[in-house]
Structure 1
């Protein structure tokens, strides 16, 4: 009776009982019978089998060890408190990972690399590369990155039904992020971008953000006279100039006039960059629609891939990019510097050969294959 009373006293502080970790029901019944535990308490008691093959009777917050005949108070409450920080960090990690998938894409790295290289073209001598240069570069990159997050977000928010067909793995299309959360996050990124640019007071940066915001909004928003992605011509008009502006022209002007305080002169390298990258951006905007034909047809978007078919658009893109490499080789050959002439001609000749070789192994009518080739274009750009 004393043993039973103590057991009932301990069980009054208990949490839900633990499950049986090892041992059979027959072993448990035999153990309870030898311990003379009343049947009405058996449902509250569970067994644990340790490595010495002895058993513990666990009734929530109390433990009785058969081999030692002593009671122990389980640290269930403390374990729960210890698991809370782990659960918090795990939830935070999941949220950050989902947001990363929502805003990050393959183009971000390419855009940042283009911004850095175009900014370096504004340097006239080694003394221009100073802490002031890197601070000015960050003042451009951070607002542009937030505006890029806006562009990615508004595209997913307005293309929710299309993404359920073409890209069901995206957080918004898969339901990992609610529609309301996506809208709030997207608007917040645009406000943050303009706010940082206003604090910077850089005219090239401000004009770049305004034009980029207008182009992306007109391209995505489904309002009268907008939703330019329905037309291939309007898609090219809204995207190619904005991509050239944000990745090449604006960072060059920002570093030249705002950071280095020098007169605006477009040297041969920046003209060469703009010419070649125009072909790249044109190919990207045409090629990106090939893997998305199914969803675009369902949404009624008359892209060039829908109208002409994937094969024609694919080989049109291949021809355009080979033409760009040809222009690069010609401009490199006319360079007054021998090292520039040698490097430019050799590098672009190799890239043209690799690109054409890879293109011949692609079947554009297979979605995964055309998507892989689309990613290969970005690898060549970086």
Structure 2
């Protein structure tokens, strides 16, 4: 949810061309984008926990449904309620970028979790990774940008150089996130027939593939800064991505892949690096 909020601000700032664009309508536009997206994230988290109940009892026993804090029925009610809230708020905005964003993300991640024929895409490593990439590299930044560009600022639809760099950065980074997510969950996934890449190739190999993908993303960020015509962007974006890449590599060397707490900490750590990267991406011009 933190990532969603920062992605919305960062992507919306890419549409800003002059200081006067940052007005009350700008912040209302960001809120229109963020609020229904946070509701849909709660719905998707609930659906995932409902269908992964037995797996979560092994991998993540602290979660509300797996731990028994929420009953299965409560989980269904909470999930359905937040889906309804998300649809209602999105429809009220009348923003077609946000409506299409809701359709794509809700359908993609519902298909990822639910256990019916031809779905439960989390069973297929490549398809599962594409769910993450399609959401974080394409649906979120592009829809947030075009909501601000066309609905709030009333400008023609466009695909600027800055948005291209964000999409490229997030393609590498979201692929790494998708593969990293399964590293701490090998035990439960293996027992319940979820053949993630970590189950197939082993945790160590997948871990260093992920590190490579993250470093490639920071390389894209460095290139975006270096190719900017603005000196402050060159310095802040370029140097910032070098610092983040160095911190990542340093932290990666200390991860104990045989320790579930260590791999779980690393997964949350790479999200924190992404939060910092969103601030840098907002400066790309």
Name the TM tier (shorter chain). over 0.9
Return the structure number with greater relative CO, CA threshold 8 A, min gap 6.
2
1:192 deviates by: 1.2
Question: Does residue 30 of structure 2 align to residue 137 of structure 1?
Answer: yes
Structure 1: 4+ residue segments shifted above 4 A:
none
1:275 deviates by: 1.1
Question: Does residue 276 of structure 2 align to residue 378 of structure 1?
Answer: no
Name the residue aligned to 1:330.
223
Name the residue aligned to 1:234.
127
Name the residue aligned to 1:318.
211
The 5 A counterparts of 1:116-195 are: 116-195=9-88
The 5 A counterparts of 1:74-153 are: 108-153=1-46
CA distance in 1, matches of 2:216, 2:249: 11
1:246 deviates by: 4.6
Q: Does the aligned pair in 1 maintain the 2:104–2:139 contact within 8 Å?
A: no
Paired residue secondary structure (1:146):
helix
Name the residue aligned to 1:275.
168
Q: Does the aligned pair in 1 maintain the 2:61–2:67 contact within 8 Å?
A: yes
CA distance in 1, matches of 2:91, 2:222: 41
CA distance in 2, matches of 1:277, 1:302: 25
Q: Does the aligned pair in 2 maintain the 1:160–1:172 contact within 8 Å?
A: yes
CA distance in 2, matches of 1:321, 1:143: 29
Name the residue aligned to 2:243.
350
Alignment deviations for residues 264-321 of structure 1 (CA, whole Å, 9 cap, x no partner): 1222222111111221111111001010001101110000000001000001111111
1:366 deviates by: 1.5
In structure 1, list runs of 5 or more residues that go unmatched.
1-107
* Bigger helix fraction: 2
CA distance in 2, matches of 1:243, 1:270: 13
Q: Which has the larger radius of gyration?
A: 1
1:328 deviates by: 2.1
Taking a change above 3 Å as real, the CA distance of residues 286 and 195 of structure 1, as seen in their structure-2 partners, is same
Question: Does residue 143 of structure 2 align to residue 250 of structure 1?
Answer: yes
